[in-house]
Every structure is written in C-alpha cells, then in structure tokens.
Amino acid sequence: MTGNKTALKLLGLAALLAFPVLPFSSEYVMHVAVLIMVYAVLAMGLNVLPGFCNLLDLGYVGFYGIGAYTAGILALNHNVSFWLIVPGAIALGALCGMLRGAPTLRLSGDYFAIVTFGFTELVVLFLTNEIWLTRGPLGLPGIPPIALSLEFLGIDWRYDFLSEIPYYYLGLAMVGAVYVVMCRIEDSRLGRAWLAIKEDPLAAASCGINLMAYKTVAFAFSAGVGALAGCFMAQWSMFLAPDVFKFWESFLVLCMIVLGGLGNINGAIVGAVVLIALGEVLRVLLPKLGLPAETRFLVYGLIMILIMRFKPGGFFPTIAATSKKSRLILDLKARLQAERAG
Amino acid sequence: MFEQQLFNGLTLGLIYALIAVGYTMVYGVIELINFAHGEVYMLGAFLCITFIQALGVPLFPAMVLAMACCAGIGVLIDQIAYKPLRKAPRLAALITAIGVSIFLQNIAMIIWGSRPVPFTRSAVPAAFSETAFTLGSVNVSGLQVFIYALTIAMMIGLTLIINKTRIGTAMRALAQNATAAALMGINVNRVISFTFALGSGLGAVAGILVGMYYNTLSATMGYNAGVKAFAAAVLGGIGSVPGAMLGGVVLGVAETLGAGYVSSQYRDGLGYAVMIAVILLRPSGLLGKSVGQKA
Amino acid sequence: MDTILKIDGVSKRFGGLMALADVSFEVKKGRILGLIGPNGAGKTTMFNCIAGIYKPTEGRIVFDKETGPVDVGGSRPEQMTQMGVARTFQNIRLFGSLPVLDNVRIGRHCRAAQGFWGAVLRTKGQKAEERMLVEQSMEYLDFVGLKNKALDLSSSLSYGDQRRLEIARALASQPKLLLLDEPAAGMNPQETASLVDLIHAIMRKDITVVLIEHDMKLVMSICEHLVVLDHGVKIAEGGPRDIRENPEVIEAYLGRGAAHA
C-alpha cells in the first residue's frame, strides 16, 4: 500500500520533470503549464486566509500586482539581480498585506471581506495613475527575462531564461517549495493556531492564542506568497499592465480554492490546474459561439455557487483526507493500536 | 465652483444612499454582505433601457417595470442562492454572494455586450437636460431636481414602511434577534424576501438614475457602485438604514469635492479611503450600534 | 491560607443592564470555590471578567502571579491564559473539525514557543517541541480518560467526553486557577460521578478550581466554600451548610415567600 503510493509519487514527479520533452509539449502547452504553476502558487497563498483563518480575501491579486510591478520596475529600470528581486518583492508584498489587514484586526471577518473587496481597485488605481513609476495604462513592456548569475560570488556563471522550458523548471521548483512550506506550516503550532482561530476565535484566545498577532502573520505570509508569484510572472511574461490585476483575477483564484476545498493545499493546486485548463478551452470555444471570451467567468461564478451549495468541502474531498498525516501522528496511531491489541 | 460641486455631490450621494440602503437592510436581517446587490443595480439600468428600446415603453413606466423586475430578481437570488445556506458557515454564504455577483455580471455581458452603451436619450424628457433653476453661481439641471425629488421621496417612503407598517416592524424585530422574532410568530422567510425585494427595487432605481446622469451603462458598473455604496453603508454604520442614507450623502459629497480639490484620478479610491478611516476610527459608523469581535 | 484570586468590588455594565454590581470575594489557593445562583445571576459574566473576555466596568481583579499579586482586570484572554488562568465554556466550545489530540495541542499553545521560521525550516528545536507537544497532550488525555480517542474527530465524541476534552484542553495550559462553567450540564449520573473524581484529581495537582454549577448536590458535595450571586449582586457567601440554610438564597432560588413557607 505505502510502497505503491511512493511509487506513484515518484512516477508523477518523473512525468512532471520529463513533461517539456514529451512530443505534445509545444510552446503553447508549455506556456499553459507555466501559467498553471503561477496560479497554483497564487491559490496556495490565497488559501491561507479563507482556508486556515476563515477570512474571505477578495483582493488577493493586489499582492500579485505589487510583486509583479516591483520585479518589473527593478529589473527593467535598475537592472537588479533576480536574487534580490525575489526577497524584495516578497517583503514589500508582506508589508502591504499587514497594512491592509491591520484596520480590521479587532473586527469580525465581514469587515475584512469589505476592506479586501475594494483593495484590488486601489492597487489598479495606483498602477494606472502613478505614471512616473509604472508608466500607467501604457504598461511596462520589455522587462528582461530572468537571468540567474553567480557573479556576485565571483564565479563567472550566468544563465538567461530564453524559452518556456527554464521557466517551467523554475516554476516547478517554486510550486514545490511553496507546497512544502504550506504543508509544514499547516502541521505546526502556527498552523494549528490558525485553524483554532478559524473554528472559534473566542476559544482560541482562551487557549492563549494572540488573535491579532496570528492574524497579522497570516496577512503577511499570504501576501508574500502572492508577491512571489507576481515577480515570477513579471519576468516570465515580460509585459505588465494595470488591467492584468483587476478584481476578476482575485475571483478566479478564489474559485480555484473553492473548487479544491477551502483549507486544502492539494486542492488549491488541483483547482488551479482545472480552472486554467478550462479557461483555455473556453477562451477558444466562446468566441466560436459568438460570445466574448470574458464570459467564461459565468462558468466560474456558477461553479462557485454550486460548490458552496452541494459540495462545501470542495469537489475532490478525498484529496483532503489523504493530506493530513504527519509522521508523529502515524507513530501515535501505531502505538495506540499496539496498546489496544496488547 | 464650490457650491456647484456641492450640488453635484449631493446628486451622487443621494443615489449612493439608495444603493447603500439595500446592502444595509439585507445585512440587518440575515447578516450577509450581499455582494450581488451591485449587479441588481446594474440590471435595473439595463432592463429599463431594454423596456424603452425593445418594447417602446415610455421612461417612467419602464422605470417602474425595471424596479418590479429587480425586486423579483432580488427575491430569486435569495431563494435560490442564499436560503439553502442560512445554517451553513458564514463564509459559504459570503462566497456564494460573490459567485452570484460575477454570474449576473456575465449574464448581462452576454445579453447586452461587454462595451458600455449610452442611455436612451430620446426617452428622457428634454426638461431633464435643461437648467431647472440657478442659485447664485449654481446651475441645477432638471435631471438633478428629478433625482433629488425621487430619491428623497423613496427614502421617506422607506422610512415609513420600516417604522409604520407591520412588515417593517417585523424587519426591525428580525434585525434585533432572529430567533426571538421567529418565536414571536413572525414569518422569517417572508420578511427576508420582502427585504430583498425592497432593497433590490431601490437599487434598480439608483441604477437607472446613474445611467441617465452619466449617460452610460456597462455590465461592470455594479462593481464600483457596489464598493462605494458599501463604503457608504459602513460609514453610516452597517445595519442602520438612516446611517446608510447619511453615509451615502456624505460619501457622494466627499467624493465630488475630493475629485475637484484633491485628485481626480483617485476619485474612485476616495470611497475606499473613507471606509478604511471609518473602520479604524469608529467601526460602528456614524449611526450604528457598537460592533466587536463576533465570537 | 494564601489568596490566589481576589475579586474586589467588580461591576460590569452592558448599556443599561448591570450584570454585576460591586461583587467581592476571595479564592483561596488549593481550594475549590462554588459560584452559584439562579439563571441570569451574572456567574458567567464573572468568569468572562476573570478570563479577560470582558473588561470590568469597575473594581479590581487581583491575581497572585509568581511575582506577587497584580490587578489583571482588563487583560486579554490570551494574557490570562499565559498567567495561569484557564477555563471551560458553558456551551462547549471545542474545535470541532479538528482531532481530539489537536484540541489539546492547541490548549498547550502558550507553553510552547515555535513560530513561523521553526515551522518552515523544521529546525531541531521545532521537531523536538512537536514531539513533546504530542507526548504531553497524550498525558492530559490519559488524565481525563480520552487517550484512546486521541485521533478521533472531537465533534464525534459523546457529550460527556466533549466536556472532559474541554477540561483536558484547559489543563494543557498548565493553569494555577481553573474556571469550570457548568461542567456537569447534560451529563448522566454516572458521568457526573466520574466528573467528581476528575475534579478531585485536578485538585491534587495543586490547581485551584472555581466551579459554576446548577447541580446543587454536586456543588454541595465538593465545594468547601460557596459564593451566591443573584441579579448581579452577591447575596451570600460561606460553607455549604450556611448557604443551604440562608433565607436570602432560598428566596432567590424559589421566589419570594418560599423562605417562610
């Protein structure tokens, strides 16, 4: 049983690694694969607030935008190294996340939802109007692609990302890293504190959990992950415009985690895969039906309503069941069973 | 200049108030932020011009028809989407509300297209675009006079319904304590439906007025109006009907003056800024009851 | 005899309603104090003031910390837990969708230290702490007799077991003072009897207990000292016998005239 599972996991990993060299992996397929990875990171990052803390975030792509523009401006105008761009963008995103959440710390979750509802709009307004910084509605074209270099260590090595393939592998590494971090946090004192707040804030406080401090950590962490996805995207797409970060994008990411099951890390990734793939299909299909491509959101809205009504645990409840098994718990289970038997 | 801005702001503010009332009433009775309310407002405007253009109905009957349709749509939204979730976690209903909002926006896009369309000029009385009266340096148009008169009359009507009728009393009782209201023999579901109908009808009127005032309608117009009316409801104290009216007017005036004197680019961000300030300084709003951490 | 908690002229007002009016009493270290009174007397409000959920409108709540007595009125709930005051709730408030073990691990939150970076990097210290949390939590579960149900969902427990789990969760924060809000409510006589044993076992751990309870037989049998509240006012205080014979108490419970009937 366990052997089978490990084998299956290895096979999956091998398939992911070999994906770019498979015959059907055209430039377009690779592009969609990378897009899925960007959204998988966004979905996992957004999941922290509604999934772990019961706070509905309706403006998540604001951080995606902040991360993307930070990376775009630093790479384009200041030629900053990728090694510095990433932590810089994450830190700025995290800071903005804390500032956005701070006014609602003492209030009920409804106020948080209200504040986030308009947040994307504010970010888009800023990106559109601060032309000196962002070039406004014209957008930022010509952002250089990612270049990894070890020159700062005195080693003469440099690698430029010139096709989809290196982005694919870097994206895979990013998804993997975020996934591991998410799983580790979920199964930790911090993750349990969040889940306690989600279940019952008053009881959580009575267990000694400082609600404001832990919510602030969640705000910062979630936003930081969004900014990370943004800075990857900026140098991958090489063009940014304020319109990319409108409310609809937040809605799409929210729909992913609703589909995968709120609080379910695996589900967030599955949600990203399903909805991005579906989006690509609809993008082709809808114009053929004489409808504007934006109307694919009709389907997303419908998915959201139906899931909440009929399958509030997400469309793939079994994925959730397999996720939460840490080593410690498995050991404990074995011990309890042994005691009962003996 | 200042006086002119003040009058323009008042026009906008009264319309915001009309939308904000819908948010706040629904929040009062079922503690749900009805994100789809902005879309009902948008549908009101589109339905109105459709009645005028497709059926040849004159403006005023078209307004009444649109209002009635939107009242029905509001009730349907509640019955189909929210009612099954009354006992589910709050987050489920909130997410559903956002889903409904996006769904309706796209329905509108399919029916009326994704580009902005103008309001049917020919149906609007000529007197609306003329200056009705001049007060010192201020020109007030016929449309503005119409907006003042209609919105104020509707708000007076609403206040009377809430305070003087049986169903209004039931609404207030429900807002105080739903369980107790049910025990007292109030038909909770009927009151909730009535609240949705009332709020949605007012929202539709607001949509039509905005459509006429700016002479433009779009499927996405509900989002911005939603955020602002929401800010107005929070400003007045969410759950408080007089608060929403006051909040709308204050926000409309502040926005117009802010656009005139501070920054016109950030005009749409001003409502947001006001909302944050209120949440920080006085989360219960101007006229609301005190709020705290909901356990 | 040392005082662990001193309630000094505490009042709590909600708008026009006086939920507590100038209540004073002392809780002696290592003893068990019963807080009784008819419904709406202000007992739970008193607990909420002590546990930091409400800030008293007036008066002092003096808690004997290691460093000496301090006025803790208006502290936040998590600060009170950190200082050594734990509580259970009248209407059970478990983390229902989490396993039994996690409820206790969360209860032990303030006696552990690992945060964000520990979790992300899985440092040695973090792993050791996680192991320890499981071991210690299992000890608390063993103490209340729920060891075998450690991995069950807490909402799947029977009512009596849920009450016990809530006690285990409170004990996990290593309190010096434990506030039990109607722990026997909804229990059958058998469960109540084992609850009495459990409370005695808690006392043997040098934990002071304050108990709100409606089951008079239970209160009278295990409390050495009782405080009676009625309409937010303290109407009597003393040993079980004094209280049982106090005419004001009888009147509060049975209505005017009953004392003379």
Q: Is C15 on the interface with A (CB under 8 A)?
A: no
Encoded tokens for B10: 């008042």
The pLDDT tens digits of the residues spanning A124-139 come to 989 998 888 888 888 8
Q: For residue A286, which residues of chain B lie inside 8 Å, CB to CB?
A: none
- pLDDT greater at residue B262 or residue C33: C33
Nearest chain A alpha carbon to C50 = A206
- What pLDDT sits at residue B291? 45
Smallest CA–CA distance, residue A126 to chain C, in Å, is 31
pLDDT in tens, A11-42: 888 888 888 877 777 888 899 999 999 999 99
Mean pLDDT of C200-208: 94
What CATH number matches the domain at A27-341, 1.20.1250, 1.10.510, 1.10.530, 1.10.3470? 1.10.3470
- Contact across the interface for B110 and A113, Cβ inside 8 Å: no
Closest C-alpha to A139, from A297, A271, A245: A245
Q: Does A237 touch chain B (CB under 8 A)?
A: no
pLDDT digits (tens, 9 = 90+) for C65-85: 888 888 988 899 999 999 999
Phi first, then psi, for residue A251 (nearest 5°) are -65, -40
pLDDT at B293: 35
Q: SS3 of A237, please? A: helix
Residue A199, strand partner residues: none
Residue to test with chain B: of A308, A310, A311, most B Cβ within 10 A: A308
Q: Determine contact: C131 vs chain A, CB below 8 A.
A: yes
Q: What are phi and psi of A312, to 5 degrees?
A: -60, -20
> What is the DSSP code string of B209-246?
HHHHHHT-B-TTHHHHHHHHHHHHHHHH-TT-HHHHHH
How many beta carbons lie within 10 A of that of residue A80, not counting itself?
15
Residue B139 to chain A, least CA–CA distance (Å): 31
Average pLDDT over residues A291-295: 82
- pLDDT above 80 (res C156): yes
In percent, the amount of chain C with pLDDT more than 90 equals 71
Look at domain C1-84+175-261 and name its CATH class.
alpha beta
Which distant-in-sequence residues (6+ apart) come within 8 Å of C197 by Cβ?
none
Residue C227 predicted with pLDDT over 70: yes
List the one residue out of A102, A158, A279, A301 whose CA is nearest residue B98: A301
Amino acid identity of residue B57, one-letter, is V
Q: pLDDT at position C257, please?
A: 54
pLDDT of residue B292: 39
Candidates C62, C41, C33, C53; CA nearest to C179 is C33
Which chains touch A (3+ CB pairs under 8 A)?
B, C
Contacts of C88 (CB under 8 A, 6+ apart): C163, C166, C167, C170, C179, C180, C181, C183
CB C153 within 8 A of CB C184: no
Instruction: Work out the pLDDT band at C1, boundaries 50, 70, 90.
Output: low
d(CA B56, CA B54) in angstroms, rounded, equals 6
Q: What is the DSSP letter of B122?
A: G
Domain boundaries, chain A: 27-341
Question: Residue A149 is inside which H or E element, if any?
Answer: strand A147-149
Following CA atoms B274, B280, B282, B288 in sequence, which dihedral angle do they give, to the nearest 10 degrees?
70
The CA-based angle A220-A108-A111, given to 5 degrees, is 75
Q: What angle do CA B274, A214, B90 make, to 5 degrees?
A: 65
Residues contacting B47, CB < 8 A, separation 6+: B65, B66, B69, B70, B204
Q: Which residues of A touch C (CB under 8 A)?
A: 181, 184-185, 188-193, 195-196, 199-200, 202-211, 217, 221, 328-329, 332-333, 336, 340
- Please give the backbone phi and psi of residue C28, each rounded to the nearest 5 degrees, phi first: -85, 140
Q: What pLDDT is recorded for position B75?
A: 96
**pLDDT score of B280:** 83
| pLDDT confidence band for C256 (50 / 70 / 90) | low
Mean pLDDT of A195-212: 94
pLDDT confidence tier of residue A2, bands split at 50, 70 and 90:
low
Report the gap between the CA of C123 and the closest CA in chain A (Å): 11
Average pLDDT taken over every residue of chain C: 90
Q: The complex's ipTM?
A: 0.91
Quote the crossing angle between the two packed helices A211-237 and A189-199, to the nearest 10°.
110
Least CA distance to C101: which residue of chain A?
Answer: A329
- Residue B117 per-residue DSSP state: B
Secondary element (H or E) of residue A96 = helix A82-101
Give residues 308 to 337 of A whose Cβ lies within 8 Å of B.
Answer: 308-309, 312
User: Distance between CA atoms of B36 and C57, rounded to whole angstroms?
Assistant: 42
Record: contact A208-C150, CB cut-off 8 A? no
| Cβ within 8 Å of residue A4, ≥6 positions away | none
Residue scoring higher pLDDT (A324 or A330): A330
Q: How far apart are CA C9 and CA C56, in angstroms?
A: 10
User: So what's the pLDDT on residue B294?
Assistant: 32
Degrees to nearest 5, angle at CA A285 with A284 and A288: 100
According to the 3-state scheme, what is the secondary structure of chain C? CCEEEEEEEEEEEECCEEEEEEEEEEEECCCEEEEECCCCCCHHHHHHHHCCCCCCCEEEEEEEECCEEEECCCCCHHHHHHHCEEECCCCCCCCCCCEHHHHHHHHCHHHCCCCHHHHHHCCHHHHHHHHHHHHHHHHHHHHHCCHHHCCCEHHHCCHHHHHHHHHHHHHCCCCCEEEEECCCCCCCHHHHHHHHHHHHHHHHCCCEEEEECCCHHHHHHHCCEEEEEECCEEEEEECHHHHHHCHHHHHHHHCCCHHHC
Tell me the two tokens of residue C208.
Answer: 């002071």
Residue C258 pLDDT > 70: no
Which positions 41-80 of B are in contact with A (Cβ < 8 Å)?
none
Q: Containing H/E element for A228?
A: helix A211-237
Chain C: residue whose CA lies nearest to A330: C151
Helix, strand or coil, per DSSP, at residue B134: strand
Query: Which member of A190, A208, A340 has the closest CB to residue C81?
Result: A208
Sequence ranges of chain C with CATH classification 3.40.50.300: 1-84+175-261
Q: Given a cut of 50, is residue A279 above it in pLDDT?
A: yes
What's the pLDDT score for residue C177?
Answer: 95
CB pairs under 8 A between A and B: 145
pLDDT reading at A263 higher than 70: yes
- Across the interface, whether the CB atoms of A332 and C138 are under 8 A apart is answered yes
Closest to C207 measured CA to CA, from C242, C168, C244, C241: C168
* Number of helices and strands in chain B (H, E): 12, 2
CA distance B145 to B163: 27
CA C228 to mean position of chain CA atoms: 17
Cβ neighbours of residue A248 closer than 8 Å, sequence gap 6 or more: A294, A297, B102
Contact between A55 and A216 (Cβ < 8 Å): no
Which pLDDT belongs to residue B45? 95
- Please check whether residue B232 is in contact with residue B248, taking contact to mean a CB–CB distance below 8 angstroms: yes
pTM: 0.91
- Which residues 279-298 of A have a C-beta within 8 angstroms of B? 291-292, 294-295, 297-298
Q: Which residue of C has its CA nearest to A179?
A: C120
C177-214: string of b/e by CB count within 10 Å (b at 16+)? Answer: bbbbbbbbbebeeebbeebeebbeebbeeebbbbbbbe
- A340 to C97: CB separation less than 8 angstroms, yes or no: no
User: What is the pLDDT tens value at each position of chain B, 295 positions in all?
Assistant: 788 888 889 999 999 999 999 999 999 888 899 999 999 999 999 999 999 999 988 999 999 999 999 999 999 999 999 999 988 888 899 999 999 999 999 999 999 988 899 998 888 888 888 887 888 888 888 899 999 999 999 999 999 999 999 998 998 888 888 888 888 888 889 999 999 999 999 999 999 999 999 999 999 899 888 888 988 998 888 888 889 999 999 999 988 888 888 877 888 888 888 888 888 888 887 877 654 333 2
The arithmetic mean of pLDDT across residues C157-162, rounded, is 92
Residue C260 pLDDT > 60, yes or no? no
Cβ contact A297–B106 (<8 Å): yes
Tokens of B115: 């580009």
